[in-house]
Structure 1
Amino acid sequence: MKRIITANVNGIRAAEKKGFFNWVKTQDADVVCLQEIKAQEDQLDERFYPKEYHCYYQSAEKKGYSGTAIFSKQAPTQIIKESPWDDINFEGRFIQADFKDFSVISIYIHSGSAKQERQDLKMAFLTERFMPYLQELKASGRKVIICGDVNIVHQERDIKNWKANQKNSGCLPQERAWLDDLFFEVGFIDGFREVNQESHQYTWWSNRGQAWANNVGWRIDYQIFTPNLKGTVKSADIYKDERFSDHAPLIMEYQL
């Protein structure tokens, strides 16, 4: 059994102050994937390198921005910090850990909410670069789990205010259609939905208003995997007992 956690921490130093690393120590996870660490490695002390784990960071070139990380109990056979895309590497959006029988990727997909230029970049990346890459992963036969903040809800049950958000980044028809293609045409699997079909299961809440208190959320954090891992998910839970950022950790257990 493998226990894998993914969490957008929205600033790893802020999350640490809110008890994130103390919580991680209680989880006995085999792999922890982080997104939006917003820190350079020289800004992180021993608190950010739990002794139970091999810790790997991929920071953005721009300080205080983006960035990903992977912690693993077992030493990986290799760590890949360079994706095939220079702009993704510049923003620290990708890191991969290879193990003997499978690989785990921590990825942070662009948000398009800031301006149209970023939304156009997001869609171009998804359709022209990321989808062909995923198709190649499938064809390779490698077992791969992609963990991260995808910044897209898939279906109506994955967002509280479905109608009101149809024109907003993260819920646009073309974004959701991209996930349709990934899951229904290419055959990748939304791990959470393998075992949980309930509505109102969210991983992100706006800091505006009373979104958290009223559970006005979006499910935009995923563990997505290659078709050859179908049937391996044993459980999937969104952890909401404590709040470390505007996202909640997604915890999944696999029979690997």
Structure 2
Amino acid sequence: MRIISLNVNGIQTAKERGLFAWLKEQNADVVCLQDIRCTQPQIESPAFELPGYVCYASEAEIPEQGGVAIYSKLQPKAIITTLGFESCDRFGRYLHADFDKLSIASVLLPSGRGSDESLNQKFKFMDDFTSYLEKQLRKRREYIYCGSLYVAHRKQDVKNWRDCQHLPGFLAPERAWLDEVIVNMGYVDALRKVNHDTEQFSWWPDTEQAELLNLGWRFDYQLLTPNLRRFAGRASLPRAPRFSEHAPLIIDYDWLLSV
């Protein structure tokens, strides 16, 4: 089973940069997109069709802000588009597809950048989402959360980390939140399960210097319930081609997706 996760920063722009042609070549079972910036009817129109896949999307109150989508080769048993708290549902930040014994989710956190309001909204989402993740651990099924989290967890996940400690995305409370999810609750960071190389970044500021010097951050994750740890296989974050400020996260699992 191959899962691709990507923050597209607007699906129309990503399409113009060749996203759908590239996806056709990847033969993924499931594609999770974040920050699609369009309405549900728009993404389900022929303009954004991926042949051989069914498509589902959440919708933000303001379509130009947020929204997530899932493309799947298999028709899921069920689709969930809300989590029941405003910091998520109002902005279309969550969607998951239920398959047999496994659910796959697309999740988008606020970036926390640009204003105190955005950062506070991010912390509110983290608090609400933590409660949700705790409940899911008690269920008798497995979960893969494909998330654009806008948090670099460890020092190795951001270039020049000393200079970034005061910036949203690498603040101590944000990193402590990922410690709670990964270390204390036991969720598995699938990339780090199989790849411990340095400079495994998934986001770069939109500047020529950032590209040239590889001034990246790892903001994008596939988080697994603990029982899935042994199924994570090859993982990659290809820098090219690029369809947004983010790189796609590609992970192959020793798991046969079924309904």
Structure-1 residue corresponding to 2:112: 112
* Farther off after superposition, 202-211 or 189-198: 202-211
Structure-1 residue corresponding to 2:90: 90
Distance in 2, matches of 1:160 and 1:86, equals 33
* Farther off after superposition, 64-73 or 44-53: 44-53
Structure-1 residue corresponding to 2:227: 228
* Partner-residue secondary structure (3-state), 1:178: helix
Distance in 2, matches of 1:72 and 1:43, equals 17
Q: Which amino acid aligns with 1:223?
A: Q
Structure-1 residue corresponding to 2:216: 217
Q: Which amino acid aligns with 1:247?
A: H
Question: Identity across aligned pairs (percent)?
Answer: 40
Structure 1 residue 82, shift from structure 2 partner? 1.7
For the 8 Å contact 2:87–2:121, the answer to whether it is kept is no
For the 8 Å contact 1:39–1:67, the answer to whether it is kept is yes
* Farther off after superposition, 79-88 or 93-102: 79-88
Structure 1 residue 119, shift from structure 2 partner? 1.1
Q: Which amino acid aligns with 1:48?
A: F
Structure 1 residue 77, shift from structure 2 partner? 0.2
Q: Which amino acid aligns with 2:96?
A: Q
Distance in 1, matches of 2:241 and 2:208, equals 19
For the 8 Å contact 2:105–2:144, the answer to whether it is kept is yes
* Partner-residue secondary structure (3-state), 1:125: helix
Distance in 2, matches of 1:202 and 1:190, equals 14
For the 8 Å contact 1:37–1:59, the answer to whether it is kept is no
For the 8 Å contact 2:109–2:149, the answer to whether it is kept is yes
For the 8 Å contact 2:88–2:125, the answer to whether it is kept is no
Structure 1 residue 46, shift from structure 2 partner? 1.1
Q: Which amino acid aligns with 1:47?
A: A
For the 8 Å contact 1:192–1:222, the answer to whether it is kept is yes
Structure-2 residue corresponding to 1:250: 249
Where does structure 1 lack aligned partners over 5 or more consecutive residues? none
Structure-1 residue corresponding to 2:81: 81
* Partner-residue secondary structure (3-state), 2:167: coil
Distance in 1, matches of 2:110 and 2:24, equals 29
Structure 1 residue 247, shift from structure 2 partner? 0.2
Structure-2 residue corresponding to 1:167: 166
1:157 matches 2:156 = yes
Distance in 1, matches of 2:9 and 2:53, equals 21
CA deviation string 1:10-54 (max 9, x = no partner): 010000000000000000000000000011134444131212101
Where does structure 2 lack aligned partners over 5 or more consecutive residues? none
* Farther off after superposition, 130-139 or 7-16: 130-139
Distance in 1, matches of 2:19 and 2:86, equals 31
Q: Which amino acid aligns with 2:49?
A: Y
Structure 1 residue 195, shift from structure 2 partner? 0.3
Q: Which amino acid aligns with 2:20?
A: F
Q: Which amino acid aligns with 1:254?
A: Y
* Farther off after superposition, 17-26 or 205-214: 205-214
Structure-2 residue corresponding to 1:53: 53
For the 8 Å contact 1:153–1:170, the answer to whether it is kept is yes
Distance in 2, matches of 1:171 and 1:17, equals 31
Distance in 1, matches of 2:22 and 2:80, equals 27
Structure 1 residue 193, shift from structure 2 partner? 0.2
